[in-house]
Amino acid sequence: MPEGGAAESRLERRKARTRASLIRAAQSFIAEGNLNVPVLEITRTADVGMGSFYNHFDSKEQLYRAAVDAALEAHGQLLDHLTGDLDDSAETFAQSFRLTGRLFRREPDLSRVLLNNAPALITADRGLAPRALRDIEAATAAGRFTVRDPELAVVLTAGALMGLGQLLHDRPDRDDAEATDTLAEDLLRTFGLCSAEARTISHRRLPDIGTVSWGGTAA
C-alpha cells in the first residue's frame, strides 16, 4: 500500500475508535438515565479531546441519537445472526422475543439504553421493531397468525418486552428465561396459535448466546 494510503487508513481507524469511544460514553450515561451531562464530561469519560467531539457530532443530542441507533442496530444484527436459519416466521418472531428477554440480564447496561428510550423504539427503523413487523406480517400472510393490524401487534410486542425488561431489572430474583418464555407463549396465543403449539414453540431450545457478542457500539 502506498505510504499515503497507509496514513489515511490509520487516520480512519483512529477516527473510528474515537467515535466508538464517544458512543460508549454516551451509552453509559443513557443507561444511568443521565441525559443532562455536559459535553466536557462526555469527552472526559471517552478520554478524547473536546475538539474530537465536534469532529464527529454537531451536538450532544446527535451523539445520543447515534448511541441509541448503535445499540438498536447491534441488537438487530444479533437477532438476524441467531434466527437466520429458521423457516417458520412465527418461530422467528418467538425466538427473537425470547433472545431479547435473555439479553436484558446478559447485557444490563445496553438494555437500559433501550429501556430509557422505550417509546421511540416502537417506530424505530432499526432493532427489534422492524424485524418484529416483518415476522408478524409474514406469519399472518402464511396463515400462522391471525392479526388484523401488524403495526398494533408490534405495539403490543414492544410494550410487553419493555415491561419485561423493567421487571427483570427491578426483580433480580425473577428467572429471566422462564418469565420471557411465558410471555412469548402468551403473545403467540394472542396472535392466533393454539395453546399447545404456542407452548411448544416458546420452549424450544435456543441458540447459545453465551459465546455471541452484542456489539452495542457498532458505528
Binning pLDDT at 50, 70 and 90, where does residue 124 land? confident
What letter represents residue 73's amino acid?
E
Span 68-202: which CATH code? Answer: 1.10.357.10
Per the document, the length of the chain is: 219
Q: Determine the Cα–Cα distance for residues 199 and 40; give it in Å rounded to an integer.
A: 51
* pLDDT 10s digits, 169-193: 899 999 999 999 999 999 999 999 9
Give yes or no for residue 204 having a pLDDT over 60. yes
Q: Identical fold at 1-57 and 68-202?
A: no
Give, for 129, the enclosing helix (H) or strand (E). Answer: helix 128-141
- Cα separation, 81 vs 76, in Å, equals 9
Cell 464527529 found at: 56
Band of residue 219 on the pLDDT scale cut at 50, 70, 90: very low
User: Given CA atoms 144, 179, 98, 219 in this order, what sign does their dihedral have?
Assistant: positive
Can you give the residue ranges of every domain in the chain? Answer: 1-57, 68-202
CATH of domain 1-57: 1.10.10
- What is the pLDDT, as a whole number, of residue 216? 47
